[in-house]
Structure 1
Amino acid sequence: MRIEETIAELERVAAREVGRGSEALAAPAAGGLLTAARSLAAGRPPDAAVFTGFFIPGADPPAAETDGPLGALQIAVALRLLGGRCRLVTDEPCAPVLEAAVAAIAPQVPVDVAPLRGYEDWAAARIHEYGQLTHLIACERVGPGVDGRPRNMRGEDIGAHTAPLDRLYTSGSAFRIGIGDGGNELGMGRLPADLVGRVVAAGERIRCVVGADALLVGGTSNWAAAALVGALSLLRPEVPQLRTLLEPVWSYDLLSAVVGAGAVDGVRRRPTLSVDGLDWPTYAEPLTRIAELVGPSR
């Protein structure tokens, strides 16, 4: 297959249906993966920030979920391998999980942690810096709905546990990439409102209104992030280390690290070696297929 055809197949694999309408949501976003990958792989090395962390207040115990941090760190490491710079951005409730992920895999990646109290001052001190970045990427980061409130898939308002990072995500003139799986994440505002309302339970209420220049829809957001790294590997074959990030064992080791730090499955609401209700063997199937499509290091 031509590279463009392989990247289109990566996009389809990442959007595998898991019961939340990802395949339907992915249809109007088709081509977003190629657009996003080309924007990162071409020109000068990217200087990016990746926003992630989705807090589950109803979990036992409450913590950030396993979907998001894995993909965000995978992207951050990939961009650094391309010679760029990348930081991760989250808020205080999600920080322990994200910091554990970084410590386990890539301690050189900086993490910016937004406070819940005093957020406005924190953001004001950084908005100029963020406005100079080339790319702002959101990976499974909840955003505001039509009423301005961030909501989970159950329709619950989680604003008390969520810093409004969408204000930094929309700052400046950076190329914005959104990665999500349920309609309530940053970037999903690119989708037609009626589609989200029709496909997603309580979609009218939870749909994020913040769009993006390129949108990647996955069955889980981590799968779409892996597809992005896969596309970068195809576009930049002279960086064979990118292929290592696609090996399922890389994700398994990172999943183990974040669960050890308290991360919870967002569907099951407890700390298990799973993502969105999918046990490792099932969850790993698209990761394995993505690695197969990209092929061995050249």
Structure 2
Amino acid sequence: MSSIIAQIEHIAGQTVRRDISRLVAFARGNLALAAQSIAEHPAPHVGIVCGFFVRHGEPPSPETDGLNGMGQLAAGLAEAGIPVTVITDAPCAKAAWAVIEVLPGEVDLQVVAVSAVAVRRLRSQLEAADRPLTHLIAIERCSFGADGKPHREHGWDISNDTAPMEYLFQDDGWTPGWKTIGIGDGCNEIGMGVLPKELVESDVPNGKLIAATTPADFLIVSGVANWGAYALLGAIASLRPDLAARLLTHFNGAMERAILKSAVELGQAIDDSRTDRLGQLQMTIDRLPLEDHIRIIEQIAAALDEPA
């Protein structure tokens, strides 16, 4: 792993609300592998699964976390000429659409109903497409837990609000035709199924119940899930100097602000991590103000400017 990617991985893995250092350590090196898989593919087509719906929010809406990561990654890849297909479910569709609306490039959006039938039907369509996916990335997307149901970090069952997107990553009797990447921060997200059960149970509240069972080929653990997506974009740019300028054209504070503003004002996305204004419309992600997320982008950009 290059020193630049190692530095980017360190930036994205900073602790925010709880100590995730052992989880980050377990996944160390996966950022480079995930980036390499995309960077070295001769004709990548990247799918991005996002959207984490919160029924008790004011209004009931998806979280802001995951949306900005999708937006930044999609903007960079599309600018570099890499096709991007964003995949979400009906409860999260408005917010995902709001993000795509402000992106400068063309990005496809696929929306499924909250059912296994709908997800498997979409899977068949993706496989039969003229240009099938080569990579599928889940950003802050809830996975089945120990009881076969998706749970919020508090242990609440959110089956009625969450399409089983894990069937795009694994399913009995089916093998994905694309490489899979999971990005998350809470251990209940798709991709976290590769973490040792005992590690999650000891380091994460309610870990015995909420621990993800859905694995991915590559797992990126970050302090905020969005940061893992920023890190992946930066790592791809470091491996593809010929595409770096295009990949990073929109990787800045202005785009970050535009994405969050549209997600909140048009898409009604919420920050459900805030304890003072629980689940209300505001320009924050995981309790952190916009400026903190812009700072992460600036740190990754600065790392890319350093000599290899």
Q: Same fold (TM over 0.5)?
A: yes
- Structure 1 position 264 matched with structure 2 position 270: yes
Corresponding residue of 2:203: 199
1:124/1:286 CA distance change after superposition, 3 Å: closer
Verify the 8 A CA contact 1:244 1:250 in the aligned structure 2. no
For residues 58-207 of structure 1, the aligned pairs below 5 Å read 58-106=56-104, 108-116=106-114, 119-131=115-127, 132-170=132-170, 172-207=176-211
Please give the secondary structure, in 1, of the residue aligned with 2:183: strand
1:254 to 252, 255, 259: 259
Verify the 8 A CA contact 1:139 1:180 in the aligned structure 2. yes
Corresponding residue of 1:215: 219
Instruction: Name stretches of at least 5 consecutive residues in structure 1 with no aligned partner.
Output: none
- Structure 1 position 276 matched with structure 2 position 305: no
Instruction: Name stretches of at least 5 consecutive residues in structure 2 with no aligned partner.
Output: none
Aligned residue pair count: 292
Verify the 8 A CA contact 2:169 2:215 in the aligned structure 1. no
Q: Letter of the aligned partner of 2:68 in structure 1?
A: L
1:193/1:35 CA distance change after superposition, 3 Å: same
**1:193 CA drift (Å):** 1.0
Verify the 8 A CA contact 2:39 2:239 in the aligned structure 1. yes
1:230/1:136 CA distance change after superposition, 3 Å: same
- Structure 1 position 243 matched with structure 2 position 253: no
Verify the 8 A CA contact 1:50 1:137 in the aligned structure 2. yes
**1:81 CA drift (Å):** 3.3
**1:284 CA drift (Å):** 2.7
1:107/1:158 CA distance change after superposition, 3 Å: farther
Please give the secondary structure, in 1, of the residue aligned with 2:259: helix
Deviation string, structure 1 residues 117-145 (Cα, Å, up to 9, x no partner): xx344334332343442111101100100
**1:265 CA drift (Å):** 0.7
1:124/1:166 CA distance change after superposition, 3 Å: closer
The separation in 2 between residues aligned to 1:43 and 1:163, in whole angstroms, is 29
Verify the 8 A CA contact 1:71 1:226 in the aligned structure 2. yes
The separation in 1 between residues aligned to 2:291 and 2:69, in whole angstroms, is 18
- Structure 1 position 232 matched with structure 2 position 242: no
Query: Which range moved further: 82-91 or 270-279?
Result: 82-91
Stretches (4+) displaced over 4 A: none
The separation in 2 between residues aligned to 1:49 and 1:211, in whole angstroms, is 16
> Alignment identity in percent?
35
The separation in 2 between residues aligned to 1:257 and 1:173, in whole angstroms, is 33
RMSD: 1.7
**1:281 CA drift (Å):** 2.5
Verify the 8 A CA contact 1:246 1:290 in the aligned structure 2. no
Query: Which range moved further: 30-39 or 150-159?
Result: 150-159
Deviation string, structure 1 residues 7-55 (Cα, Å, up to 9, x no partner): 0110111011012333221110000000000000003121221100001
TM normalised by structure 1 equals 0.93
**1:277 CA drift (Å):** 0.6
Q: Letter of the aligned partner of 1:274 in structure 2?
A: T
The separation in 2 between residues aligned to 1:121 and 1:13, in whole angstroms, is 39
Query: Which range moved further: 68-77 or 176-185?
Result: 68-77
1:44 to 39, 42, 45: 42
The separation in 2 between residues aligned to 1:212 and 1:142, in whole angstroms, is 13
1:246/1:23 CA distance change after superposition, 3 Å: farther
Q: Letter of the aligned partner of 2:204 in structure 1?
A: V
Verify the 8 A CA contact 1:130 1:172 in the aligned structure 2. no
Verify the 8 A CA contact 2:13 2:24 in the aligned structure 1. yes
